Amino acid sequence: MPLQPDPSYVGRFAPSPTGPLHFGSFVAAIASWLDARAAGGRWLLRMEDLDRPRVKSEAADRILAQFDAAGLHWDGEVSWQSRRLDLYREALERLASMEATYWCACTRKEIADSAITPDGAGVYAGTCRGGFARGKSPRAIRVRTKAEAIAFVDRLQGPVEQSVEREVGDFVVFRADNTFAYQLAVVVDDAEQGITDVVRGADLIDSTPRQIHLQRLLGLPAPRYLHVPVAVTAAGEKLSKQKDAAEGSSRDLRAALAFLGHAAPADVADGDLLLWARGAWDPSAIPRRRTISVNAAARSP
Ligand code: GLU
């Protein structure tokens, strides 16, 4: 079903400026823009630049150039997570005052041997929940999780359920390198910016229950979620930001639309692609899958 107009809609795209957008993140950006614009809503751009060791100084400019080339326009100023640290600190203090968090002294190596979570990290066994052993030093701050499942209905993927305690464990909200963790920052920002709809790649769907857990602790509203399939190589591997960088050209745009189940008829001129797609946008036409493999040829018109 095509979307009903909803002027209260506020969407966002939140790239990490660690390199240019690859074809998969370009697809997610297009989906997020189209969903917002088809609803007649706003669309914000937020640079998730907290992960200092991975951020590259020229990457944000490259991403903005990709948007310009594709004709994707955002509303208002670009926001930068690195300039919003007070908001994250405040949220962390609130969690601490509720005794929802604790200091963890475990090293990466100590955790690495445990079971593997959906996103490939170890399930944290709760070793430091009741305090850490004498002689060890505090490294990171974790939030306590609960065994009962957190459920939500993804607008594309349908019902999702996860016991965060069993499948992920108490997770890090403040990292050992003195950085606010993505899970905390994203929840604070989505609420503070009044985001009603998150449209992003399905590689983040397993993070969503963690984000809902934090929203509930902090008394923040949960946005609606739509996780689009992620483009992977024929071997099922992630695309590379460098090797598979998108240009934002009309060729990329046509390929992204086709990937999203919205192949543009050949008589739609390059300059009209976004306008056409905005009118044709129907989220139920997106393939209901978490990954789709593409190769260089598939990304050509
Ligand atoms: N910054 C994250 C990334 O680029 C996306 C965050 C989000 O959309 O929630 O993978």
Judged by DSSP in three states, 116 sits in strand
* pLDDT classification of 119: cutoffs 50, 70, 90: low
Q: What is the pLDDT of residue 120?
A: 60
Distance of CA 25 to the CA centre of its chain: 10
What is the spatial distance between Cα 110 and Cα 123, in angstroms, rounded to a whole number?
Answer: 11
Centre of ligand 1 to C-alpha 15, Å, is 5
CB of residue 204 inside a 6 A radius of ligand 1: yes
Residues 6 or more apart whose Cβ sits within 8 Å of residue 189: 14, 46, 79, 81, 84, 87, 195
- What phi and psi, each to the nearest 5 degrees, are found at residue 141? -110, 130
CB of residue 170 inside a 6 A radius of ligand 1: no
Mean pLDDT value across residues 205-224: 98
Choose the residue to mutate in 186, 197, 210, 215 for probing ligand 1, maximizing ligand atoms within 8 Å of C-beta: 186
Give domain limits for the chain: 10-80+197-205+221-282, 85-182
pTM for the complete prediction?
Answer: 0.94
Instruction: Report the percentage of the chain scoring pLDDT > 70.
Output: 94
Q: Is pLDDT above 80 for 214? A: yes
Instruction: Report the percentage of the chain scoring pLDDT > 90.
Output: 84
Say how many CA atoms lie within 13 Å of 76 toward its Cβ.
Answer: 14
CB 75 within 8 A of CB 9: no
CB of residue 14 inside a 6 A radius of ligand 1: yes
Q: What is the pLDDT of residue 110?
A: 77
What is the spatial distance between Cα 299 and Cα 105, in angstroms, rounded to a whole number?
Answer: 46
**Token pair of 268 as six digits:** 């739609």
One DSSP character per residue, 232-254 reads: E-TTSPBPPTTTTB----HHHHH
Centre of ligand 1 to C-alpha 11, Å, is 13
Residue 159 β-bridge partners = 153
Output the CATH code of domain 10-80+197-205+221-282: 3.40.50.620
| DSSP state, residue 169 | B
Say how many CA atoms lie within 13 Å of 248 toward its Cβ.
Answer: 15
301 vs 196, higher pLDDT: 196
Output the CATH code of domain 85-182: 3.90.800.10
Q: Is pLDDT above 90 for 296? A: no
* pLDDT classification of 100: cutoffs 50, 70, 90: very high
What is the spatial distance between Cα 273 and Cα 132, in angstroms, rounded to a whole number?
Answer: 57
Mean pLDDT value across residues 193-201: 98
* pLDDT classification of 240: cutoffs 50, 70, 90: confident
Mean pLDDT of the chain: 93
Q: What is the pLDDT of residue 115?
A: 58
Centre of ligand 1 to C-alpha 267, Å, is 34
- Of the candidates 123, 124, 29, which has an alpha carbon nearest to the alpha carbon of residue 72? 29
Chain segment 132-175, per-residue pLDDT in tens: 888 999 999 999 999 999 999 999 999 999 999 999 999 999 99
* pLDDT classification of 7: cutoffs 50, 70, 90: confident
What is the spatial distance between Cα 97 and Cα 153, in angstroms, rounded to a whole number?
Answer: 31
Centre of ligand 1 to C-alpha 182, Å, is 8
Lowest-confidence region among 118-127, 139-148, 210-219 = 118-127
1 vs 201, higher pLDDT: 201
- Of the candidates 144, 142, 184, which has an alpha carbon nearest to the alpha carbon of residue 51? 184
78 vs 5, higher pLDDT: 78
Mean pLDDT value across residues 238-245: 87
Mean pLDDT value across residues 101-113: 84
What is the spatial distance between Cα 220 and Cα 217, in angstroms, rounded to a whole number?
Answer: 8
How far apart, in Å, do the first and last CA atoms of the chain sit? Answer: 27
CB neighbours (10 Å) of residue 6? 14
CB neighbours (10 Å) of residue 69? 15
Judged by DSSP in three states, 152 sits in strand
CB of residue 104 inside a 6 A radius of ligand 1: no
What is the spatial distance between Cα 187 and Cα 222, in angstroms, rounded to a whole number?
Answer: 9
Centre of ligand 1 to C-alpha 59, Å, is 15
